[in-house]
Every structure is written in structure tokens, then in C-alpha cells.
Amino acid sequence: MGRFTMAYMATLLAGSLAGAASSPAQAHHSFSMFDHAKAVTVKGTVQSFKWDNPHVHITLIVPPGSNEKAGTWDVEGASTNIMFRQGWNRRSVKPGDALTVVGYPLKDGSEGLSLIYAITPAGQKLWQDVSRPSIAP
């Protein structure tokens, strides 16, 4: 190779590396914000079901008088790929469905869960993952 070609390739490589290094990294959180020592059961009405990566989300409206705090709960599942392998799909639940979810609560006490499983209006138990924790009721 000639000097011009080598210099061109070196410049191209340096530019590519600089571009790759400066591109924003997608953030991903751990699940340490959830209390894995206990599981809670929440019953409510589905407000929304987001079948998206990196995590599926169910927004659940929990009425006053239930066992858990009334309000709008965010239920975080696994990726669509993992949940699909457990029987979930984008039509598993829909807004307006009555849903029971079991999950690990947020440590700060706010209305959020890491999903263990859900019980659909048809009575089907859909697990989030292959893991079947003994803590789950």
C-alpha cells in the first residue's frame, strides 16, 4: 500500500473510533431498587400496556380500599423476548382489563413493582421469566 492509502485508512479508522466513542450509551438500571425479600399482590385495572424493550411496562390503577396503596402503579417486566417465551404477547392484556399482579415492591414505598407474574382476566398465570421464586404466593 502507498503512503496516501495508509494515511487515508488511519484517518478513517481514527474517525470511526472517535464516532463510536462519542455516541450515547443506552442506560440500563439494576433491579436493586426493588425489595426482593418480599412479594406483594396488587389488583387493579390496566391503564396501559407497553410491549417495548428494554422492559415491558403495565400501568395499573389500584382503587381505594385494596390491600395495597391506591393509585397508579408502574409494573416493570422483563424484555419482550423473555416475556414472549413465557407466553406473553402484545395482546396479553389491554386497557380496561382487571389484572392481578405479584411482584417485588420498590424499596422507597412508592407505587411500583418488579413483576413476578400476573393473572389475566381469563385466570391464566403468566410468569415474567423462567425464574419461579419460592417467595411468590
Q: What is the pLDDT tens value at each position of the chain, 137 positions in all?
A: 566 555 555 554 444 444 444 334 444 556 778 999 999 999 999 999 999 999 999 999 999 987 778 999 999 999 999 999 999 999 999 999 999 999 999 999 999 999 999 999 889 999 998 877 776 66
- Domain residue ranges of the chain, discontinuous segments joined by +: 40-127
- Rounded CA-CA distance 63/50 in Å is 21
CB 54, CB 64: distance < 8 Å: no
pTM of the predicted structure, to 2 decimals? 0.74
Q: Kindly report the CATH number that applies to the domain delimited by 40-127.
A: 2.40.50.140
